[in-house]
Amino acid sequence: MAKVIAIDGPSGAGKSSVSRRVGKKLGFLHVDSGALYRIMTWQCLERGVDTENPAAVAAAAREIDIELRPMDGRIAYFVHGEEPGDRIRTPEINAHASQVARVKEVRDKVTAILRSMTDFGDIVVEGRDITSAVFPDTPARFYLTASAEARAMRRQKEEVEKGIANQSAEAVKASLLARDKMDSTRKYAPLVKADGVIEVDSTFLTLEETERAVLAALPQDWKA
């Protein structure tokens, strides 16, 4: 049976960077579940769907086709034969993603896609409901967190470096907190610190230290 490392936490806690590193170290494919919700959001906006309307979002979600391709240590997503890249990382998508992610049909579809990924092999999956709803039975479950200030600073730096946006740290923090709130209070599969997860607070940790904390807590026979 494929092994699954599940990592949840709020925006900007460092889930992607840590998951990528852990995956590379162990030979597990990296799975960014947030990107699937971002693709759903992007496709809704492309189709002119009102993201405040759950029925319209659910109808659009049924039509959205995402192709999975394991490559370069990760599971890549293709839409109409193309990877969306940074088109799903804009402030506009940030502003609508939580609305789309609260719709049950969207969550059911993304959850089924994520569970099918064990067919490709061992995976390290990051998101908001991976430890609580998608893979609650895996023995390697983590809640990665950091202070709101640290998370906003990391996200802002990333946006500027990638040339995605040039927002102030305050604006990034406000958008991030708004998303956290919506993600933690929604009806279906909210972001929670599930029972039995291992919490790692990365506020004062380097990426290497955070990676080490995750690796150290894995089942003994999973370690490379």
Q: Which DSSP state fits 170?
A: H
Q: How far is the CB of 143 from ligand DC (least distance, A)?
A: 13
Structure tokens at 54: 């759950």
Q: Does 11 bind ligand DC (CB under 6 A)?
A: yes
What gap in Å lies between CA 59 and CA 52, rounded to an integer?
13
Q: How far is the CB of 165 from ligand DC (least distance, A)?
A: 14
**Number of shown-chain residues binding ligand DC (CB under 6 A):** 14
Binders in 162-181 for ligand DC, by CB under 6 A = 179
- Which of 39, 213 has the CB closer to ligand DC? 39
Binders in 184-223 for ligand DC, by CB under 6 A = none
Q: How far is the CB of 2 from ligand DC (least distance, A)?
A: 18
Phi, psi (rounded to 5 degrees) for 31? -125, 115
Q: How far is the CB of 205 from ligand DC (least distance, A)?
A: 19
Name the nearest CA neighbour of 102 among 144, 57, 136: 57
- Look-up: residue for tokens 């599930």? 194
Pick the binder of ligand DC from 7, 101, 165, 213 (CB under 6 A): 101
What gap in Å lies between CA 42 and CA 36, rounded to an integer?
10
5, β-bridge pairs: 124, 140
What gap in Å lies between CA 182 and CA 176, rounded to an integer?
10
Pick the binder of ligand DC from 117, 156, 183, 214 (CB under 6 A): 183
Q: Which residues bind ligand DC (CB under 6 A)?
A: 11, 33-34, 37-38, 97-98, 101, 127-130, 179, 183
